[in-house]
Amino acid sequence: MHDERRRIEERVERLHHQRIRPAIYASTVPFEVAAWQAPGEPVSFEEAAAAPYEPFATGTPWGPPWGTTWFRMRGQVPAEFAGRRVEAVIDLGFVGDWPGNQAEALVHLTDGTPLKAVNPLNQYVPIAHPAAGGEPVDYLVEAASNPDILANDFAGPTSLGDVLTAGDRPLYTFRRADIAVLDEEVWHLDLDVQVLRELMLELGEHDPRRHEIMHALDRAMDLLDLDDISGSAAAVREALKPVLARPAHASAHRISGVGHAHIDSAWLWPIRETKRKTARTFSNVTSLADEYEEFVFACSQAQQYEWVRDNHPHVWARIRESVKRGQWVPVGGMWVEADGNLPGGEAIARQLIHGKRFFIEHFGIETKGMWLPDSFGYTAAYPQLARLAGNEWFLTQKISWNQTNRFPHHTFWWEGIDGTRIFTHFPPVDTYNARFSGEEMSRAVRNYREKGGAARSLAPFGWGDGGGGPTREIMERARRLRDLEGSPKVEIEHPDAFFAKARAEYPDAPVWVGELYLELHRATYTSQARTKQGNRRSEHRLREAELWATTAALHAPGYTYPYEKLDRLWKTVLLHQFHDILPGSSIAWVHREAEAEYARVAGELEELTADAVAALGAGGARVFNTSPYGRAEVVRTPEGAPVYVEVPAGGSAPLASAEPPQPVTVDGRVLDNGLVRVQVAEDGTLSSVYDLRANREVLAEPGNLLRLHTDLPNYWDAWDIDKHYRNRYTDLLDAESVTVVEDDPLVGAIRVTRAFGKGSRIIQTITVRAGSPRIDIETDLDWHEAEKILKAVFPVDIRAPHSSAEIQFGHVQRPTHTNTSWEAARFEVSGHRWVHIGEPGYGVAVVNDSTYGHDVSRTVREDGGTTTTVGLSLVRAPRVPDPGADQGRHRFTYSLLPGADLADAVAEGYALNLPLRVAEAAGEPEPVVSVDGEGVTVEAVKLADDRSGDVVVRLYESRGGRASGVLRTGFPLAGGQVTDLLERPLEDAAVQADGGVRVALRPFQILTLRLRRAEVD
């Protein structure tokens, strides 16, 4: 037989695209259209309905950036359309086929009921099926003209990312608004040809099935009447039936399809636009559920449900009905799909608590899995936190984006730092926006790493990132792929069902231990420093407010615990931990608003904390310590004078001077407190840090070396830092001034001022205090660089085989060598409040109050010694998607802690981030809880959410070893229970006769205790 593949394939492609597809809508009549441009921000339906509308013609430009145009569309179904399937077809001037970052609209009836959204590949709105003819059609369409920030593949900066800079030139040209007949036979033919043609092109050139499909399509095209596509469509479909009916092989891979509409809670659009995106997408999904009884849609992010509940009650009611039918499946159990590395441990716990409670309260459903397809790597604390919240499985997809190494599993057990395991799956289709294309199905089978051990995977399908969701065309593809030779078998089902089958099928699934590090998007640990600092400060202020509110509730008669305010503030912080806000990868508008929200949260939490402390009564000045560790350190009085004080963990003490171990001396550029001696060089670097306790020099080379690197990644500017950044840098060694600014027996400080680059300026105050080996470097930076990253480098004279970095409820160790490509790929890593390096007998920690990115490297010197270098990433200057990212003022502190073990690093991490508070208060209330026993760390103290008055305490083992101790309470204790994260009892806690609770923890174990107060006469 002659090889005619090229002729046939090109013939089918042309007829499909140029003849069949244009014939889907057989007859059309235009709507009568009028328009009203809403001024400023979006308005309510009621305001839009009462607005004055002007006639509007097809082909007219519309839509300033971030604007809202309301279109009134009126028409009547022609009599000749009777008996047919009639739809409205609306094209706002869509750009490409991605629905998320361009014109979008929600269609309403005149009474305000939302019907359905229109997107590029989802332009229809059902009118009647079948139509009677003569039906009036009257719509109000809320159209958003969101700019295409992705234009030119992020090739350069754009001013469109903020309404303040975007201008007002119309972005789109209105193309179409018609009442149309859907020719169902032609529409199904289009789908038949799509599925067969795509399958054919994925099969091998020597595969008989490919040739069978090709010749079947060729013969079928002979039956297509080019002058009567509609009339001949049925005959063409009949000819294709045999090739569509061939069943899949018995050993075919099985794909569980789950409807999905990933909606970034903010990214290339602000939060206010996401609120509308959810309404559009959820309208589409509930409409689709009415059409396809087998449809199952998985949707995470309780925050988005709440937006729809509050703003679109009609859509909310439809969601509730879909949930009852089992077609809509809440998943994930988190408030938002948070970043996987940066939120603190308690914050991730609250993500799970608030998310799961929302779904239980509103739907009576407890979610069983964590659904995080798009975060940028995943902390090794997740398995334990997930299981403590009642989850059984974990799903993500993003690790498929690895730049260097291919992850070895798709289905496996993931083991966290404490030993907890959770069953985990990465969809081999490598997308959370699948459309069941032939290429995707082939990719899923080709990628699947578990061949021979298992034979099924999951595919989240539907348009995503900016929403949109599944379409009827995707559903039709799934029906055709349910059992089709040459393709994997597709079955739409609940993700819980998939995970149950996958676990049963693969009883000896492999185990991956530790973090799921994404070898990409490493700059998200640093970009938009003010957003990250706002998150860190908010987490610690929430801890502080809860502790002192609990103290006041226990000891101050008449004080009312602020449940509602704390709940609202927590949810605000949780929202901004979304995986494109906290990582710094959103447009300027998002981060401008985030900074404002963090400032508002800070103000409210300061007020709550002050009220709680004031409720303890007026009296002398006291010092309040929110840290879980007792402190002996220098604090300043309200007048600014330094005082050395001793304060118990989680408690308070009078503002009375204690005797420090040894005073601070300042001699030229040398600071000495008897524990460390710090010498500042003329260029402002630390030329020497001598540990007087260990009699050793800490630094191998000058420390606190500020290094300015060129930072232009290959593609994703705000997301990525590529390894070549290391190759070009400037050390900032020209100090304008090095000046002693404090010389007191309790505090010595030297200030270093530098100007550099394109008008940037940095002022650093190097401070040593009595009684502490910690060297603080308080930094005031005015940053005006572009495509640069600023690092603070500490070359330490230590041979460290690994570094330890704090993560949620513990720490991870990472090798300092690059023996394999896996270690080499970790050239930039994340950590929370500290990173520690050490050799047997000696260690050093670098502590910070707001940064997350760092690198650790090791080299051997000519003298045979080893230098281990810690480089903190302080600030970046990407230009896409926010051309002004990080520009302007930054204030933060980082510290060098010589002679530190892991326990010291933990304690000083808390101390730096939870500064002592000085306030007027009467009495000496006991700490709510205190712990006897090293390694047992209190992470949260609060009243139970059910308002029972019980006290909830969350503890964890913080050093990586076994720990035991007794938790004692500052109130009469009647009993206690161990609970899950949602404060539901798991077992009774052992209460000792003296009123304490004995605890025994494995390495990094998290324990939540619910403590019941005894009645007091």
Whether residue 883 is preceded by a cis peptide bond, meaning omega within 30 degrees of 0, is no
Q: Residue 542 CA to chain centroid, in angstroms?
A: 20
**Residue 814 contacts residue 805 (beta carbons within 8 Å):** yes
Beta strand 254-259 pairing with 489-492 = parallel
Q: Please name which of 930, 1000, 989, 1007 lies closest in space to residue 962, comparing C-alpha atoms.
A: 1000
d(CA 746, CA 644): 7
Copy the structure tokens of residue 294.
């087998």
Backbone angles phi, psi at 908, to 5 degrees: -75, -25
Q: Please name which of 387, 542, 335 lies closest in space to residue 980, comparing C-alpha atoms.
A: 387
* Helix-then-strand count for the chain, H and E: 18, 55
Longest dimension (CA), the chain: 101
Backbone angles phi, psi at 601, to 5 degrees: -60, -45
Q: What angle do helix axes 472-480 and 184-202 make, rounded to 10 degrees?
A: 60
Q: Which residues of 653-688 are buried (b: 16+ CB within 10 A; e: fewer)?
A: bebeeeebeebbebeebbbbbbbbbbbbbebbbbbe
Residue 374 known to be catalytic: yes
**Residue 395 contacts residue 371 (beta carbons within 8 Å):** yes
Backbone angles phi, psi at 392, to 5 degrees: -115, -15
d(CA 168, CA 162): 12
d(CA 268, CA 427): 25
Beta strand 511-513 pairing with 411-415 = parallel
**Residue 944 contacts residue 952 (beta carbons within 8 Å):** yes
Place of tokens 């704090």: 806
Of the residues 374, 580, 691, 950, only one is catalytic, namely: 374
CA angle (742 as vertex; 738, 746 as ends), nearest 5: 135
Q: What is the CA radius of gyration of the chain?
A: 31
| Torsion sign, CA atoms 584, 585, 587, 593 | negative
d(CA 607, CA 613): 10
Beta strands in 914-972 (DSSP E): 917-920, 929-932, 936-943, 951-957, 963-969
Q: Residue 953 CA to chain centroid, in angstroms?
A: 26
Name the strands in the sheet holding 670-672, side by side, starting at the edge strand that comes first in the sequence: 665-667, 670-672, 676-680, 686-691, 696-697
The set of catalytic residues is 374
